[in-house]
Copies of this chain bind each other. A is one copy, B any other.
Amino acid sequence: MHSEGAAVRVPAVEGPVVALDIGGTKIAGALVDSTGRLLVRAQRRTPAAEDGETVMRAVAEVLRELAVDPSWARASAVGIGSAGPVDASTGTVSPVNVPGWRGFPLVQRVREMTGELPITLSGDGVAIAAAEHWQGAARGYDNALCMVVSTGVGGGFVLGGALHPGPTGNAGHIGHISVDLDGPPCPCGGRGCVERLASGPNIARRALEEGWKPEDGAEPTAAAVAASARAGDPIARASFERAAQALAAGIAACATLVEIQVVVIGGGVAGAGEVLFGPLREQLRRYATLSFASGVEVVPAQLGTDAGLVGAAAAAYGAAATATGGAADTG
């Protein structure tokens, strides 16, 4: 099911890409070359509780720090990956965890600092998918779901060999599909969302509610639940199994709806390893039942904390290749 060479677009642009990865905790930036190497980087804490202009100042500081690097002058494009929802069609962002930004014109504001360079805005899940397809575990696959299971659950698709951002850059929001239509309310307004059942905080909360206690007075995190599960604690195991069940139902839905060959899973909770991946593969057999969906593979992500930057750059390189008649087709 591999198609050799499909993953790596030949960049149609010469210079590096200015990449921004904007999350609720940090704002990271880098100049990324056409091999995915980070030439220079900058970072600020996200002043998430402040007003929108204060958040924007942190972005501007990151860009100014990058601009002193000599390679900035050769930059050919800008790629922005942002916590969502985003709206790539209007260039605005409304990250859930940055209340000061609601419909914030991020593309326009960045353009004031980067001039004529084309700007590609993507949701952070889409950026992760771009990164894993370009440099990571989804390389060579034409149809893939790349996920992050962490404080939240997000994702992005590669379909037909190309990134599928959707018209507004938000496609792949697997964390907020309902797999339990009568289930617990989710902060998004829905019920029984994958994230509500499978995110790190929810794994910890469920274990605590059932009587689990972290060992040695550790913080009651999903990592602590994973440690207990590894040591054989049945409540800890059950909480991971429930998360795995919800993830399996969500992944199976993706495979059944759009035909994916592989699921790449990263993020802190994925660090639990077989405590998560074991029951996930088992549950996937229960939910991905149709012939064309049942063969979907589950693999760990290969890119670490730089995935957002690499992916923002990948999306920009892909867009540039399309605009100049390169090999890529648009998602």
Size class of A's contact patch?
Answer: 35 or more
**Is A78 interfacial (CB 8 A cutoff)?**
no
* CB-nearest residue of chain B to A242: B181
Q: Which residue of B lies closest to A197 (CB)?
A: B181
The SS class assigned to the A binding surface is: loop
Q: Which residues of chain B are within 8 angstroms of A177 by Cβ–Cβ distance?
A: 249, 252-253, 256-257
A180 to B179, CA, bound (A): 5
Residue in contact with A252 in the complex, picked from B180, B190, B286, CB distance below 8 Å: B190
Is the CB of A237 closer than 8 A to any CB of chain B?
Answer: no
A166-B143, A179-B179, A256-B173 given as contacts; is B85 within 8 A of A291 (CB)?
A: yes
Copies of this polypeptide in the complex: 2
- A241-270 residues with Cβ-Cβ distance < 8 A to B are 245-246, 249, 252-254, 256-259, 261
Contact of A178 among B171, B174, B287 (CB under 8 A): B287
Contact of A188 among B172, B246, B290 (CB under 8 A): B290
A89 → chain B, closest Cβ, in Å?
Answer: 9
Which 10 pairs across A and B sit closest by C-beta, in order of nearness?
A: A166-B259, A189-B289, A177-B253, A181-B249, A170-B292, A168-B292, A178-B249, A188-B289, A173-B256, A179-B181
Interface string of A171-208 (1 = CB under 8 A from B): 11110111111100000111110000000000000000
Checking B164, B167, B180, B292 against A85 with a beta-carbon cut-off of 8 angstroms, the contacting residue is B292
